[in-house]
């Protein structure tokens, strides 16, 4: 699920337990171990990109 923090920025959280901590390498929740689907991650990245565009924020590239 996608949350919005108090500043309006989107944050990706676990569908199962609602926590916002998950392992970005295995895409599983730290709390309950639920898998975060790639569709969910793509949806989040889209929302985040739209948010940054709207706010005029330039994000540093994430090192791979
Ligand atoms: Zn969870």
Beta-carbon neighbours within 5 Å of ion ligand 1 = 14, 16-17, 29, 31-32, 34
Query: Does residue 57 contact residue 64 with C-beta atoms inside 8 Å?
Result: no
- pLDDT value, residue 64: 62
Encode the chain (64 residues) as per-residue pLDDT tens digits.
Answer: 898 999 889 998 898 998 887 887 888 999 999 998 889 889 999 999 999 999 998 877 666 6
Burial of 25 (0-12, 13-18, 19+ CB in 10 A): exposed
Distance from Cα 56 to the centre of ligand 1, integer Å: 32
Distance from Cα 14 to the centre of ligand 1, integer Å: 5
Chain position carrying tokens 């569709």: 39
55 in the Ramachandran plot: left (φ > 0), alpha (ψ -120 to 50) or beta?
alpha
Query: Does residue 27 contact residue 34 with C-beta atoms inside 8 Å?
Result: no
* Single pTM value for the model: 0.73
């Amino acid at each position: 699920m996608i949350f919005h923090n108090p500043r309006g920025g989107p944050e990706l959280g676990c569908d199962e337990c609602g926590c916002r901590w998950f392992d970005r390498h295995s895409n599983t929740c730290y709390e309950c171990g639920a898998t975060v689907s790639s569709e969910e991650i793509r949806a989040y990245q889209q929302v985040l990109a739209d948010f940054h565009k709207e706010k005029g924020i330039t994000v540093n590239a994430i090192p791979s």
